[in-house]
A and B are shown apart, each in its own frame.
Chain A
Amino acid sequence: MRVRALALRILNQLRHDRRTLALMLVAPIFLLTLVYFILADSTPVIKVAVVNAPAGFEDRLEEQNVRGLRYSESEARLALERGEVIASIKIIGGKSYIEVDGSNPTKAKAALAALEQAKIDAVMSRPDLKSEVTYVYGKEDLPTFDNFGAALIGFIVFFFVFLVSGISFLQERNSGTLEKLLSTPVRRWEIVVGYVLGFGVFTVLQSFLISWYCVYVLKVMMIGSFGLVLLITLLTAMIALTLGMLMSTLANNEFQMIQFIPLIVVPQIFFCGLFDLPAGIEVIGYIMPLYYIADALTEVMIKGSGLEVIAWDLGIILAYSLLFMTLNTLLLKKYRRI
C-alpha cells in the first residue's frame, strides 16, 4: 500500500512537471533522429577469412587495407559468428563464394570491395563469373545507423532515466521530504521499491515510444521480437534508475549529479560495442551495464536472437539492479537506522 502510494506520487509529480516529461519522451526521439541523419561512415580495421583462394590472394587483400587470414571452412563460419572476421571467401574454379556479416555495414562494404578488387588482380580468377555473396547477418543495404541504432536505444534510455531519477531522489533528500517520509512508519525498502515502480511504470511508456519510433518510423533493422526489445529497454530503465538513485546519494545538489555524467555515463558509451576496441581494453566493458544492454539489443534486433541467447545479458542487468536496490536501502540507513 505504501509502495503503491510512493509510486503513484512519483507518477503524479511527473504528470505535473511537463518539462521533465518532455525531456524524457521528446528528447530521446529528437536525439535518435539527429544521429540517424548525421551518422557518417568510418574506416575501421577489417579482417577477412580466406578459406580457399590462390596463393598471394592475402597480399592483394593487404593492398586494399584488408587483412586476410587462412581458415578452414568450419573455422571461418565460427569466426564469422563470433565477429572475429567480417567476411569469408572461398574461390572455387574461379568463382568466389562470399559470406558476409552485414551487421556492421561500413566494414561489410569495405570488405566486399576489397575482395572483388583482389579477385580481379589474381591471375587464376575468371572475371566473367559473378561472385556469390551471402549475408550471414544483416542485409546488403543496412545503413550504419542500424548497427548503432540498437546500442543507441539502450544508451538513450539509460541516460535519461539515470539523470531524471537521480535528480528526483536528490530533491527528495534536499527538500526535507525524505526526512518527513522517514518520520512515518514507512520502511526503507518500501521507499526504494516505490521509486522503482513509479519510474518503472513511466519508463514502460518511454521505452515503448522510443522502441516504436526506432523500429517503425526510423525503420532500424529489426528482425527479432518487439516484445523482447521492450523487455530489454525496461530492464535498462530499471538499472539506470537504481544506479541514478545510488549516485544521487553521493551528490549534494543537482549540479553535482550532472557531474556524474562524464564519470558514469560517457565511459559506458565507449565500451558498449559501438567502437572497436583492442582486446585488452575491451575487458573493461564487462563491468559496465550498458555493454550487456547493447549486446542484448543487437542480438535481438539485428541477429533475431531469442530469449535463450540474451538470458545471460538480462540476468546480469537484473542482478545489477537488485544489487543497486539493496545498496540504496542500506544507504538510507544514513538517514534512519530502522
Chain B
Amino acid sequence: MRETIFRRVKLSENPPDIDSSKCIIVRNVNKFFGSKHVLKDINWEIPYGKIYGLLGPSGCGKTTMVKIIAGILEATSGEIYVLGQKMPKLSLMNKIGYMAQSDALYVSLTAKENLHFFGTIYGMSKAEIKRRTEETAELVNLSADLNKPVQVFSGGMKRRLSLAMAIMHDPPVLVLDEPTVGIDPLLRKNIWEELNKLAAQGVTIIVTTHVMDEADKCHSIALMRNGRLIAQGTSRELQDKIGARSLEEAFIYYGGQQDES
C-alpha cells in the first residue's frame, strides 16, 4: 500500500515527458520581482556530467536563474526539474552544492569551523566532515589556512573557501555563481581541472560568468541578456554559425539580434 502511494507521488513529480538523460530541465520559466520581469520564458536543458556556462552581463538575470535552480527562489511560472524531481524540494537540496556570488562566510569563525558547520547542516558524519575538510581544503589550496579566522582572508581566499563549502558534501549537482572571481590564473586553472574531473565522474555543473574566456571552458554555453536566453550551444557552434572569431563577437551579434526583434 505504502509502495503504491509512494509510486503515485513519484509519478506526479515525474511527468512521463521529461527526458531522463537530462539532469536539469528548465521549462518556460518566468520570474517577476513585483512588476519587474526578470526572467522571460527560459527553456534550458542540461545533461548529466556536463559543465554548462551561463554567460551574460551583470543584471541580466543569471543569479536569479541559478537561485531558482538551486531551490532558493521559486519561479513565478514554469517548471524546474533537478535529478528528475520537481524543484523546489527540501530533500533535493542535499544533492545540490550552491556557491553564492557574494562570499557567504562566517567571518569570525575559522575556515575549518565554517566547513564543519555546513558539513553538519548537510547531515555528514564527523569522520566524513574530517575527511572532506582535508580533501576540499587541499583542492582549493587552503590547507595551511584552515585554522585562521576568515576575517583575515583575502578576497581570493574567501572565494576558494566558498567553493570548498559548495563541494564539501559531494553533491551530484553544483551551482556556482561566478566561482573564479578574484582567483589568480594558476589556481583558476587548477579549479577548472577539478571541475572537469568532477564532471567526468558524473557531476553536473552550472557556472555563471561574465568572463568570455571562462565560458570557453564549458561544454556548452547559454547566452543571457535582459532576462532572456538569446543563444545556446558550444562556444564553437555559437561562433561558427555566424562566422564570428571570438565568443565576445558572437555575444555582441546575438545581443544585437535580440534588440532588433
Contacts and interface: CB of A to CB of B under 8 A. Distances in A.
Which one of A185, A335, A336 has the highest number of Cβ atoms from chain B below 10 Å of its Cβ?
A: A185
Nearest to B97: A183
B121 A5 contact: yes
B113 interface: yes
A183 B120 contact: no
B121 A183 contact: no
Given A2-B123, A337-B88, A183 B98 contact: yes
Contact of A176 (B103, B110, B121): B103
Contacts of B91: 185
B199 interface: no
A1 B116 CA distance: 13
Nearest to A335: B72
Contacts of B38: none
Interface string B90-116: 110110101010111111111001000
B122 interface: yes
A185 B122 CA distance: 7
Interface stretch (A12-20, A97-105, A108-116, A226-234): A12-20
A259 interface: no
Contacts of B103: 176
Nearest to B74: A337
B118 interface: yes
Contacts of A177: 104-106
Contacts of B109: 9, 12-13, 16
Contacts of B117: 5, 8-9
A1 B96 CA distance: 20
Contacts of A176: 100, 102-104
Contacts of B100: 176, 179-180, 183
Interface string A317-338: 0000000000000000001111
B10 interface: no
B89 A338 contact: yes
Question: What bracket does the count of chain A residues touching chain B fall in?
Answer: 20 to 34
Contacts, number: 80
A87 B67 CA distance: 68
A64 B113 CA distance: 68
A338 B90 contact: yes
A338 B91 CA distance: 11
Nearest to B98: A183
Interface string B217-242: 00000000000000000000000000
Nearest to B165: A180
Given A13-B108, A16-B149, A184-B118, A179 B90 contact: no
A139 interface: no
A187 interface: yes
B207 interface: no
B71 interface: yes
B120 A185 contact: no
Given A179-B100, A184-B93, A337-B88, A2 B72 contact: no
B70 interface: yes
A185 B93 contact: yes
Contacts of B67: 179
A286 B71 CA distance: 43
A333 to B, nearest CB: 11
A251 interface: no
14 contacts: A9-B113, A9-B117, A12-B113, A16-B109, A175-B102, A175-B104, A177-B106, A179-B104, A180-B118, A183-B70, A184-B122, A336-B71, A338-B71, A338-B88
Given A12-B113, A185-B123, A338-B89, 4 more contacts: A2-B120, A9-B113, A184-B93, A187-B90
Interface of A: 1-2, 4-6, 8-9, 12-13, 16-17, 175-177, 179-187, 335-338
Which 6 residue pairs are nearest across A and B when measured between Cβ atoms? A180-B104, A5-B120, A176-B104, A183-B98, A176-B102, A16-B108
